Amino acid sequence: MRRSYPNILIAIMVIVLAVFVFGFQQTGKQGRRSAGTTSGEPTGLETATFAGGCFWCVESDFEKVAGVVEAVSGYTGGREQNAIYKKVSAGATRHLEAVQVRYDPGRISYAELLDIFWRHIDPTDDSGQFVDRGHQYKTAIFYHDDTQKQIAEQSRQALQASGRFSKPIVTAIRPLDGFYPAEDYHQDYYKKNPLRYKFYRYNSGRDQFLKAQWPVESKPMKSESKHTYTKPSQAELKDRLTPMQYKVTQHESTEPPFKNEFWDNRQAGIYVDIVSGEPLFSSTDKFDSGTGWPSFTKPLVAANIVERQDRSLFMVRTEVRSKHGDSHLGHVFADGPKPTGLRYCINSAALRFVPREDLVSEGYAQFSGLFAGHGK
């Protein structure tokens, strides 16, 4: 009888280990399906949502990208809440299979994620993706805010203009209205079932199409900005900026109205921070406020604008600064025209103007789509 003890002990240890591993896996899956950030997740992350056909493949592609923290398979864009695979796969709920991407904007931009997305789908197919047919496999970009919407529209326009595809781009750009994580067995399917995943992916025709459409040597689309926006040293700023530019951006001064460079500029183009180069405003949102300073209804890239309370001059106003350059730009007031009702009153001395025809050469090609069809 004593000879059987080791076998019993081994069996017990195996059972305990199995329970521990199973419990660990279940905890990880449940944590992955929960909304919001987890305690171990880096701060400052942003979220993007893409539908590109089979979510096993889209999740796998994004999780290999530097700067992406995680990608979660799920369902969005349909009529019902709490979507489940059985109903979605039958096409009963009008949901799309989608992937929600959590990423570090300090390492990868939303524009770069879009470029990766285009390179892993067929954006000309309006009936599904590759071997998977049906509404639930259609492609779409689900934007989380107006900035994402604008960047997505510009990216789609750039892809269409590139001539990469002979057919029209049919990928939809839609507002996100709820995202329902898929069942646990769908999460990380490419890791948990590598043989089945590889067999499915190869036979789907996805990789064969992508390899033919996007050769390895293909460069990123020109919609992708590679700028790194930083603030130079004070010594460099004093040397580079005019006295007025330095006083305005570094010491919150205000230039004279009607006697500045851009108050009546009517050229098509964008306005960037004179200090950092980050894009701030567009001529498409510029209007004549009658104040003698450049005025805009909204920012070009809202993420590049910082608002602070200003109590100087015995009044309370909202100061506008650039995010990366920390330049004083001006103030925003709630007396502007529709549709925003806002007036961003900005100092010309804080801006540099990039004409439409120079956007590509200066690295702002992602904004070229704003001026498609505009006359000079």
Read off the pLDDT of residues 101-146 as tens digits, 9 standing for 90 and up.
999 887 888 988 999 999 999 999 999 999 999 999 999 999 999 8
Provide mean pLDDT across the span 82-89: 89
pLDDT for res 31: 41
Catalytic residue of the set 270, 329, 345, 349: 345
Instruction: Decide if pLDDT at 21 tops 60.
Output: no
| More confident call, 25 vs 247 | 247
- pLDDT tens-digit profile of 216-268? 655 555 444 456 789 999 999 999 999 999 999 999 999 999 999 999 999 99
Active site residue 345: yes
Active site residue 57: no
Select from 95, 93, 102 the least CA-distant residue to 74. Answer: 95
Cα 117 to Cα 21, 204, 227: the distances in Å are 34, 18, 20
The pTM for the full model equals 0.54
- pLDDT tens-digit profile of 268-300? 999 999 999 999 999 999 999 999 999 999 999
Instruction: Decide if pLDDT at 22 tops 70.
Output: no
Instruction: Return phi, psi of residue 205, to 5°.
Output: 85, 0
The domains located in the chain, with CATH, are 43-213 (3.30.1060.10), 234-371 (2.170.150.20)
pLDDT band at 4 (very low <50, low <70, confident <90, very high): very low
Which range has the worst mean pLDDT, 79-88, 114-123, 204-213? 79-88
pLDDT for res 287: 97
| More confident call, 185 vs 38 | 185
Rounded Cα distance, 350 and 363, in Å:
20
Instruction: Decide if pLDDT at 33 tops 50.
Output: no
DSSP helix/strand/coil, 56: helix
- Strand 317-322: give its sheet, edge to edge: 286-287, 295-296, 343-346, 328-333, 317-322, 305-310
| More confident call, 32 vs 284 | 284
pLDDT band at 329 (very low <50, low <70, confident <90, very high): very high
CB 229 within 8 A of CB 324: yes
pLDDT for res 312: 86
Catalytic residue of the set 48, 51, 54, 88: 54
pLDDT for res 171: 97
Select from 210, 54, 57, 198 the least CA-distant residue to 124. Answer: 210
pLDDT for res 252: 95
| More confident call, 336 vs 8 | 336
Instruction: Decide if pLDDT at 373 tops 90.
Output: no
pLDDT for res 36: 42
